[in-house]
Amino acid sequence: MAHKGRARLFDALTTKGTAFTHEERRELGLLGLLPIAEKTIDEQVEHTYHEFSTRRDDLDKHIYLRALQDRNETLFYRLLSEHIEEMMPIVYTPTVGEACQRFSEIYRRPRGLFVAYPDRAELREVLRNRPEREVDVIVVTDGQRILGLGDQGIGGMGIPIGKLSLYTLIGGIDPARTLPIVLDVGTDNVERREDPQYLGWRHRRIGDDEYYAFVEEFVAAVREELPDVLLQWEDFATTHALPILDRYRDRLLTFNDDIQGTAAVALGALHGAAQTAGRPLSEQQVVMLGAGSAGIGVLEMIRQEMVSQGLSDAEAASRIWVVDIKGLLTDDRTDLSDGQRRFAQPAARVEGWAGVQLADVVHQVDVGVLLGLSTAAGAFTEEIVRELAGKTDRPIIFPLSNPTSRAEAHPHELDEWTDGRALVATGSPFAPVERNGKKRRVAQCNNVYIFPAIGLAVTAARATRVTNEMMRVAAKTLGEASPALSDPDEPLLPAWEDVPEIATRIATAVAVQAVKDGVAPERSDDELAQLIRESRWKPEYR
């Protein structure tokens, strides 16, 4: 039986607030519980936007939007959909970083599940306590590597909440069928543990043996409770991210957005950049600063793309140079993970070099593409960028680290140091760059271009796995939508207001690929396109 009275009024998923008509108020037992005026959803949006605009800073605006979401999900998404460009940085990066750091302080109402290690004997009960029975998408974090801010413990819950908001806003996933989860396995952040307001388990992070056993128990509980759900791993530390992905990618419908989503959106931007530069990716020398799971994930997808353009695995690997805090990855180093070792250059190749730091690599190699996922603020120095710009007409430079404070360079600096020739995409939002009296929007390699479309595709097509080819098709479809392809002075990635429609395009291509890969039921391309469009949830009152 449908909720009535106060239960209906305060159910965030079904309430209309002051938009309930007089007749609905009579039928639902709401007479007298609301002021007599009846508002349309457009009038409510106008009112809430005014309230939003009066908030004093971005964190205060973030808190206001979260409170609105807790009160009325439909109105929350309608407001966001009409102000995507302005509100995306508030709901997600970069403001969500501060919200995670201050999660316990600004905590108001529960959302999602807090799966704590001390409750490990009751994991199935925890999963059964989820707010909604039917779930299409879970985003889970353990809070250890939140953006570039490090270990935030349960404060990391802000990331799954924010991600799932974008699944709905951009991908049209029904918010009633999403579930944010944080695995509370302790925190090594002493400041958090000693903060009297901290709401998580006050304990150092558990050791790897206990950790992987707990993750295994969690996955088993998810498979039992929600066997068809899409499980997205988010902001796990480098040491855990790839092993977890490798362990479960062939056992359930899952992907890691930091590894695969970041890779797909970066490759999508590179598609447009390489075409604009007039030099295919397979002919470029690529340098990456940062050898964490995200950086290695990007390079793995670049390597696959180079192979698809005709290179052998070895030829592709020879064109990729990776620099970490110790310098260039070479095959004589004993401190590399298996993923890093795939991109280690032969030590003999750098014999005679004066050094193996980033500046040395840019000096010695005919670099055309410089990428950063290092969280090393300012690492792309003027000297390095100017030398790179002297090697190619259109240098491709992507400082991809989050948040803004950790970016390897700022777009206005790159524009100045390359005389406006650089093809730039960033990880965080930046103000437009002005040159010759004209402002140019800076493309942001935000994973929101990719992951909502993946969620829409697998949900609509009933896929059972997320394959590498599905991610590459997503990247290619995004690249084909690059505004720079029709005007080299335009950004490498589409404007935010166009992203929901582009997400539909990407989702359709991914669903088609899922059928080709044999991980979704057989359907025609036209049937899949129709399914995708019909599956999109819209922020409208029923």
For tokens 């106060």, what's the residue?
6
Instruction: Give per-residue pLDDT as tens, 135-159.
Output: 999 999 999 998 878 999 999 999 9
- Give residue 9's pLDDT band: very low, low, confident or very high (50, 70, 90): very high
C-alpha span between 71 and 67 (Å, rounded): 6
Handedness of CA 57, 59, 62, 68 (dihedral sign): negative
How much is the average pLDDT of 175-181?
A: 98
C-alpha span between 184 and 336 (Å, rounded): 28
Q: Which amino acid is at 50?
A: H
Residue ranges for the known binding site for (S)-malate are 145, 402, 446
% of the chain beyond a pLDDT of 70: 100
Superfamily of the domain at 95-252:
Malic enzyme, N-terminal domain (3.40.50.10380)
Q: Which amino acid is at 478?
A: L
- Give residue 2's pLDDT band: very low, low, confident or very high (50, 70, 90): low
Scored b (16 or more CB within 10 A) or e, 193-208 reads bebeebbbbebebbee
**Chain length of the chain:** 542
Q: Which amino acid is at 357?
A: Q
The ranges assigned to domains in the chain are: 5-80, 95-252, 260-445, 449-535
Per annotation, catalytic residue among 92, 167, 248, 541: 92
- Strand-pair category, 137-141 with 230-233: parallel
Scored b (16 or more CB within 10 A) or e, 460-471 reads bbebebbbebbb
Scored b (16 or more CB within 10 A) or e, 497-535 reads eebbebbbbbbbbbbbbbbebebbeebeeeebbebbeeb
Give 223-237 as a DSSP string.
HHH-TT-EEEE-S--
* CATH architecture under which domain 260-445 falls: 3-Layer(aba) Sandwich (3.40)
Q: 356, exposed or middle or buried, with CB in 10 Å at 0-12, 13-18, 19+?
A: buried
Q: Which of 324, 340, 423 is nearest to 379 (CA)?
A: 324
Instruction: Give per-residue pLDDT as tens, 379-389.
Output: 999 999 999 99
Q: Which of 26, 24, 21, 14 is nearest to 37 (CA)?
A: 21
How much is the average pLDDT of 414-428?
A: 96
Averaged pLDDT of the chain: 96
Q: State both tokens at 426.
A: 């960033």
102-108, long-range: CB < 8 A, 24+ apart: 102/59, 102/155, 103/152, 103/154, 103/155, 103/156, 103/157, 103/158, 103/199, 104/154, 104/155, 104/195, 104/197, 104/198, 104/199, 104/200, 105/197, 106/59, 106/63, 107/199, 108/63, 108/66, 108/67, 108/70
Q: Taking 50 as the threshold, does the pLDDT of residue 1 lie above it? A: no
Cross-strand pairs, 360: none
CA 176 to chain CA centroid, nearest Å: 20
Tell me if the bond preceding 395 is cis, omega within 30° of 0. Answer: no
**Is the separation of the CB atoms in 44 and 456 below 8 Å?**
no
Q: Is 449 a catalytic residue?
A: no
pLDDT value, residue 163: 96
Q: Is 163 a catalytic residue?
A: yes
Instruction: Give per-residue pLDDT as tens, 335-365.
Output: 999 899 999 999 999 999 999 999 999 999 9
**Is the separation of the CB atoms in 64 and 52 below 8 Å?**
yes
Instruction: Give per-residue pLDDT as tens, 66-103.
Output: 999 999 999 999 999 999 999 998 999 889 999 999 99
φ, ψ for residue 138 (rounded to 5)? -115, 135
Residue ranges for the known binding site for a divalent metal cation are 234-235, 258
Q: Which amino acid is at 343?
A: F
Q: Cβ contacts of residue 35 below 8 Å, gap of 6+?
A: 18
- pTM score, whole prediction: 0.91
Q: Find the distance separating the first CA and the last CA of the chain, reported in whole Å.
A: 16
Q: Assess whether the region 5-80 and the region 260-445 belong to the same CATH fold.
A: no
C-alpha R_g of the chain: 24
Instruction: Give per-residue pLDDT as tens, 295-328.
Output: 999 999 999 999 999 999 999 999 999 999 999 9
The top-level CATH class assigned to 5-80 is mainly alpha
Q: Which of 498, 473, 503 is nearest to 263 (CA)?
A: 473
Q: State both tokens at 108.
A: 């108001």
CA distances from residue 26 to 9, 33, 243 in whole angstroms, order as listed: 13, 11, 56
C-alpha span between 308 and 364 (Å, rounded): 27
**Is the separation of the CB atoms in 408 and 376 below 8 Å?**
yes
Cross-strand pairs, 439: 434
% of the chain beyond a pLDDT of 90: 93
Per annotation, catalytic residue among 16, 61, 77, 163: 163
